[in-house]
Copies of this chain bind each other. A is one copy, B any other.
Amino acid sequence: MIPNQSLLVDLYELTMAQVYFLRKRRTRATFDLFARQLPVNRSFLIAAGLSDILGYIKALRFTPDALRYLKGLHIFSDEFLRYLARFRFSGDIWAMPEGTVFFPGEPVVRVTAPIMEAQMIEGFLLNTINLQTMIASKAARVVQAAAGRQVFDFSLRRTHGADASVKVARSSYLAGFNGTSNVLAGRLYGIGLSGTMAHSFVMAFGSEIEAFRAYARVFGSRTILLVDTFDLWEGVRNAIRTGREMERKGARLFGIRIDSGDLISAARRARRMLDKAGLRYVRIIASGNLDERSISRIVGEGAPIDGFGVGTHMGTSSDAPVLDVIYKMSEVTDSRGRFVPVMKLSKAKVTLPGRKQVYRVCGASGTYVKDILALEEEKVHGAALLVPVVQNGAVMYNIPGLESCRRLAADEVARLPRDLKRISGVGRYPLVMSAGLRDLSARLARKLRARQ
């Protein structure tokens, strides 16, 4: 969506690449992209963003415009710029399919490539996984809280920019949302659209009933009337009048929306009023600063709300607007071209060495029991979560459609231990290291400490 995606890098990725180009052109390395820890209030993460990463890898070229700009910085040699002009990503990528549940410490993307190439894609990969996984993981909580009621993304006005707006719509849909108000996201991803009306619409007419009638005349059985612009009960009464008028024309009012006040008691009274008027089929949609906690409370109280419009808090993951994802080298070739595992030991920033795979172990009922982080060459019991997606620079993965990712996410969450799906409080899922990885880490750590 951004022109010049090749420039979507931190400067140091290009300066390091230039040094690698001169001194380590043949050095290859493996990088793990993983979350260091869970954000607050989260018990699991849902992988999202791979589809954009593969699109980026396919399209990654330094355009003449980009090269002119880089040349003008006067820090890159002509030889390096010529290399960039013919740059193609040539490495291998393994990743978890979108919709996979994963946990901190587990590589969700693993890149093995010439080190200068692996370094150059770092910024885009982190940015992409950070946003989409953060939103999918937040949205999954909202979906849990809604317990089968419909939830719609209304966050366009609060997301961080245009790109985020469509990625939020997509990531939340992947995590189980039922639609979005964002028309561009509908166009780009085929997500169903949802919308009602604004308070200003009601105010623009001489009276509320006039506004309702005008809307219903155009949209018939798709009409959702916003009932709280002036007085809520008067609004519900006007919606009932409109609904009855629609019935006479063979149409049915789809729903009403309540956007303010105590949603639980408002919905109860509105439901009674609608039912008494014979409009049992009219749905009640609630909106207004909702998140998984308020929705969980509403659902817990049994309020008769059929759908929720969720904006700000989901669209910015407001309680945890950052995912602590990092991209760390785990092996690098030596002068003879053999891969040597590496690790970093500084406090709080320990990384695990070697080329790794994540295995998931299921219980008899299909419930997930634990994950095992192992070296790739180890034999481990469990389902391998990282699959090959790019080989020698070519995407060799049949990118699943969004619906299929969404089904995967639903299945994944269904298999999680119940404890991890609570809205308040955080559950812990066991991730263990294989014997091989434990041994290698211990050996390398001893070596590093001895050196220091």
Partner-B contacts on A (CB < 8 A)? 1-5, 7-16, 18-20, 22-24, 27, 29, 31, 65-66, 69-70, 73, 75, 115, 119, 122-124, 126-128, 130-131, 154, 156-167, 181-184, 186-187, 193-201, 203-205, 214-215, 218-219, 222, 228-231, 234, 260-261, 312, 316-318, 321-322, 325, 327-329, 332, 342, 344-349, 448, 451-452
Q: A322 contacts B318, CB within 8 Å?
A: yes
Within the complex, what minimum Cβ distance (angstroms) separates A127 from chain B? Answer: 5
Contact of A19 among B75, B115, B164, B218 (CB under 8 A): B218
CA distance A229 to B12 in the complex (A): 16
**7 extra A-B contacts, CB within 8 A, seeds A70-B183, A127-B165:** A2-B163, A4-B184, A9-B156, A12-B197, A15-B195, A15-B215, A126-B156
CA distance A163 to B7 in the complex (A): 13
17 CB contacts below 8 A, A to B, read A1-B2, A1-B3, A2-B166, A7-B184, A9-B184, A15-B195, A15-B218, A19-B201, A69-B187, A119-B200, A119-B201, A127-B158, A127-B159, A127-B162, A127-B165, A131-B161, A199-B328
A66 contacts across to B, CB distance below 8 A:
187
Within the complex, what minimum Cβ distance (angstroms) separates A258 from chain B? Answer: 11
Q: A312 contacts B316, CB within 8 Å?
A: no
Contact of A193 among B73, B128, B154, B348 (CB under 8 A): B73
A193 contacts across to B, CB distance below 8 A:
11, 73
Q: A448 contacts B230, CB within 8 Å?
A: yes
Q: B260 contacts A12, CB within 8 Å?
A: no
Q: A10 contacts B322, CB within 8 Å?
A: no
CA distance A410 to B167 in the complex (A): 34
Whose C-beta in chain B lies nearest to the C-beta of A343?
A: B203
CA distance A40 to B108 in the complex (A): 34
Q: B2 contacts A261, CB within 8 Å?
A: no
A201 contacts across to B, CB distance below 8 A:
16, 19, 119
CA distance A451 to B234 in the complex (A): 11
Contact of A160 among B13, B75, B131, B215 (CB under 8 A): B131
Q: B260 contacts A156, CB within 8 Å?
A: no
CA distance A101 to B115 in the complex (A): 46
Q: A204 contacts B127, CB within 8 Å?
A: no
Q: A197-B16, A321-B316 are in contact. Are A69 and B204 (CB under 8 A)?
A: no
Within the complex, what minimum Cβ distance (angstroms) separates A405 from chain B? Answer: 18
Q: A452 contacts B162, CB within 8 Å?
A: no
Contact of A452 among B203, B205, B234 (CB under 8 A): B234
CA distance A165 to B19 in the complex (A): 26
CA distance A346 to B259 in the complex (A): 11
Q: B318 contacts A183, CB within 8 Å?
A: no
CA distance A261 to B8 in the complex (A): 29
